Structures are given as C-alpha cells and as structure tokens.
Chains A and B, each alone.
Chain A
Amino acid sequence: MSYKIPMGPYHPALEEPYKLDLICEGETVCDAKLHIGFNFRGIEHLAETRNYIQVIALMERVCGICSNIHTLTLCQAMEKLTGQTPPPRAQYIRVIVAELERLHSHVLWAGIAAKLMGFKTMFMTCFELREKVMDVLQAISGNRVNYSMNKIGGVNRDIEDPLAVLKMVEALEAEMARTVIPIFTTSRTARARCAGIGVLTHEKAVSCSVVGPTARASGVAQDLRRAAPYAAYAEMEFSTPVEQDGDVRARLMVRALEIMESCRILRQALAKMPPGELDTGDVKLVFATGTATSRVEAPRGEVMYSVSWKENSRTPRRVHVRTPTFANMPAIRWMVLGARLADTPLIQASIDPCYSCTDR
C-alpha cells in the first residue's frame, strides 16, 4: 500500500519554502511531486516598471546568496544593448567578486549538507569559514549580502588593496584544504551518508537539461566560464571538476573541488589585475531596440537573462530570468525514486536549491 507524505512548504529539512509530495511504500519513495511558487514576487513584471538604474537594484534582490551574479548577468545584457564594454580592471573585479560569491555559496551549502548528514561540528566549521568569506566581500563592497558592485559599463567599487585580499584568500584556502575538503572527501560519515544516494544518471541529467555542479556530478562537463567565457575568465587557468557517479557524494566532491578552483582563480585574478578605469565614464546610454541575452556560471549553474528594450525607453520591455534551480529542481523527482524516506532531505539539498531565485 502506498501513502503520501507531504514535506513542506515549511519543514525543518527545507531551507526555503517549497513542497515535496512523496509517494511512499514503506520507507521507500516511489514517486514525488514538486510544488514551488511560495516565494513568487512577480519580479520579472516589476522589472518592466523600473528604469535602467533601478532595475539593477531590483534584480540584485532576486536572490540573497548569488545576488552579484544576477546584476552581473543583467548588466552584461544591458551592455550589449548599449554598446558598452567594461574596462579590463572592471572585468577582473567582476571575476573576483563572482568567485568569492561562489566560495561563500559552496561553503554555505557544505554547512547545510553537513547538518543534514547529522554532522553538526562540520556545520559550525563551514559557517565559521563562510563568515570569513563574507568578511572579504564586506571589505571589498561594504556589504555582506547585496554588494551593489555591478553597473552598466563596469563596477561601482575598486579593490584598492588586492594584496590584503590575497592574504585573506590564502588563509581561507589553507583552512579549506586543512579541514573542509579532507573531511568531505575522505570521512566515513560523509561517505556513508552520501555514496550511492540520490543518483541522477548521465542520461537523465542530459534529458532534464540540468546545469552546474548537479550536471557535472553526473558526468556532464559543462561550465560557461570555459565554454563561453565572460568578464576576464578567458585569462584564467582553472579546471572543471567532473564526477561520474551522479550521487550525493559526487555532487559533494564537485563542489569541494570547485572551492579549491575558485581559490586558484582568485589568486590569479588578484595577482594579475591590471590598473585602469572602473567603468566607461559618464557617457549617455542609448539603448538599441531589440533583445540581448547573457549567461553566467553561477554557483548553482547557468543563469540566463533575456532583456528586451525599445529605443528611447527608460524601462525594459521584458526581463526574463532562467535560474539554475529552475533547471535542476525537476530532476529531484528522479533522484528520490527508490530512495529511503530518511535520505530525501539530503537528496533535495544536494542540488543546492534556491527558491528565491526559482520563484522570482
């Protein structure tokens, strides 16, 4: 006999409001239905009522964790419509802030995953480390969450002392290499709770069009920083970690290795950052009629913005946002099939879902 267990929209295992209806036989999950929309704010529609300065501040609030990525993607699209090219120093600063954001997002996720594994000490360690990343972001931008770094044609703030930031990054890297990475990659607790759980096969990952670490953990080697470089990524050397198993452990491994790659990119960007202007100066922005698209590799995967404008208008005609969780979440249904009910919180968390982004 099967029975339905509703999980959410408000549940201790879920970090944000959404709902999973789990159809179970005994302790085994046979099917799952997902419901989102509890954070729906109509932001795309609101964007059509904001001018080209206000819309940046609005879209920064799509997500609290990857706020910088949203403004970066939006500004890149608007730069295509206005013909602006940010100067090299601004491109490097964009890379630095994007990688710091990836770092704090991955460490935050690692903490939540540790908590769901029942590994509370690790949760505390991760959140302590995340605070240090947030300190770096605050030192650069003055803010802990919405950094307001991006503008059309450049960035709003400089990194005046890259060597000081470099020291902070090196300290972080050493701490990650000493604690987080070895524990997540070698500890028996992590292995026991994650190996063979919540498998998304390579075929399913391709057919569901999943993105980011979720795709890379199922053997899909895609990373926009390499496939379609933006900002200054073409000048960075880094690897794209790919795992084949498609289980929670593979997703854990990919993110753990990406933390180290982010540190590697940060070291290069801070060391090589060229001098120069932060933006294109006080030029009159003239928007062309038409649509521009921009894509960025966010911590959770590809973010895409389609921005449509009508000439001489101060407001966009349309702003469409495709977030990574929107692409990854439907695959949860396949990950939980045949799983034990007790594993479902960790499985759903393993894609690092963000419903603020998804619902918009």
Chain B
Amino acid sequence: MISLEKISEQLGTTDPWVENRGAYWLAATELNVRDVARVMNEVKARFVTITAYQLPDEDGFRLEYHWDLDGRLLGFAFPVSGNSIDSIYDLCEGVDWIEREVHEGFAVDFLGREYEPLLLREGETPGVNLREVSK
C-alpha cells in the first residue's frame, strides 16, 4: 500500500496530510488540479467525485476533489476564482459527468473541454448557477 508521504513527495509538497471526518486532506494551496490528477493516475487511485461549494460574499467557489486509494479517501480542495478551473477530463475519464453537473448547476467553467448537451436539466443555456436562479 503506497504511503501518503510518498504521494506528497510526488506532488512536490511537504505539507502534512490531515485526517478529518472521513477523508485524508492535503491542503497545499500551491497545488494544481491537473498535477494532482496525474499523480492520482500514477498511484492508481480511483476518482470518486467533485463537490462544489458556493462561498459567501461573492468569493467564488470551492471544489473538493476526492480519490479512493485502497479504501482511503483522499481529498483536495481548490478555490475557484473567476468561475473557471482546468478540466481533468483528458486525464481522468470518470470525471466527465460530475464536471458537467457542476458546470450546469453552479456555472463553473472547466477549461479545456467541450460540453455535450445538458446532462441534468432542460434548456438551451449551459452553465447557469441554479442557486442564483432559484432565489
């Protein structure tokens, strides 16, 4: 079983992993989501999901990416400023639907990918923040 320290080494960070309420978190702010996805592929971790959080006071969003590594849930949180973040679809096929869902529900744009017709709802315009619309 690969150690978490080894993963930190591959990511080029010395920040510690923190186990917190069901997941091991690496809160290294300098990490790039594509670098993380590459390392997760190398260690044969399985992509689980992305959870999007809308931050208060127009601070944008926080996206939490999760991978499973031999039963351990690894978490990486990325702030999203300006409503866009790099897509990892070309690195991880399993991310397709959840990137589309976050795009359709929160208007977060995943750069470097194309969107097929809407996944979860009707309408012509993709990328609408449903929480703002429903207010």
Q: Contact residues of A with B, CB < 8 Å?
A: 33, 35-37, 40, 42, 45, 77, 80-81, 206-210, 222, 224, 226-228, 290-295, 302, 304, 306, 308, 317-318, 320, 322, 326-327, 329-330, 359
Contact = CB atoms under 8 A, between A and B. Distances in A.
Interface string B22-46: 1100000000000000000000101
Interface in B85-110: 92-94, 96-98
Contacts of A292: 21-22
A290 B20 contact: yes
A227 B71 CA distance: 5
Nearest to B131: A45
B120 interface: yes
Interface majority SS (helix, strand, loop, mixed), chain B = mixed
B120 A37 contact: yes
Nearest to A36: B119
Contact of B22 (A293, A317, A330, A359): A293
B130 A42 contact: yes
A322 B117 CA distance: 21
Contacts of A227: 70-71
Contact of A45 (B66, B70, B71, B130): B130
B128 interface: no
Given A77-B22, A306-B51, A318-B51, A293 B118 contact: no
Given A42-B130, A209-B47, A295 B22 contact: yes
Contacts of A80: 21-22
A249 B53 CA distance: 41
A139 B21 CA distance: 34
A306 B92 contact: no
Contact of B118 (A37, A228, A291): A37
Interface residues of B, number: 36
B121 interface: yes
B75 interface: yes
B70 A320 contact: no
B97 A330 contact: yes
Contacts of B20: 290
B48 A228 contact: no
Nearest to A360: B120
B73 A295 contact: yes
Contacts of B72: 228
Nearest to A306: B51
Interface string B105-135: 0000000000011111110000000110010
Given A40-B120, A291-B21, A295-B22, 4 more contacts: A222-B68, A228-B71, A228-B73, A306-B49
B29 to A, nearest CB: 17
Given A290-B20, A290-B21, A207 B121 contact: no
B59 to A, nearest CB: 14
Contact of A359 (B71, B96, B120): B120
B50 to A, nearest CB: 9
Nearest to A317: B53
Nearest to A230: B22
Contacts of A329: 97
A290 B96 CA distance: 27
With a 10 A CB-CB cut-off, give which of A40, A80, A304 has the most chain B CB atoms.
Answer: A304
Nearest to A227: B71
B125 to A, nearest CB: 15
Nearest to A319: B51
Nearest to A292: B21
Contacts of B122: 37
A293 B134 contact: no
17 contacts: A42-B134, A45-B131, A77-B22, A207-B92, A208-B93, A224-B71, A228-B71, A292-B21, A293-B73, A295-B73, A302-B48, A317-B53, A320-B51, A322-B98, A329-B97, A330-B93, A330-B97
B26 to A, nearest CB: 15
A313 B134 CA distance: 22
Given A209-B47, A295-B73, A320-B49, A306 B64 contact: yes
A209 B92 contact: yes
A304 B48 contact: yes
B51 A209 contact: no
Contacts of A302: 48, 68
Contacts of A226: 71
Nearest to B52: A320
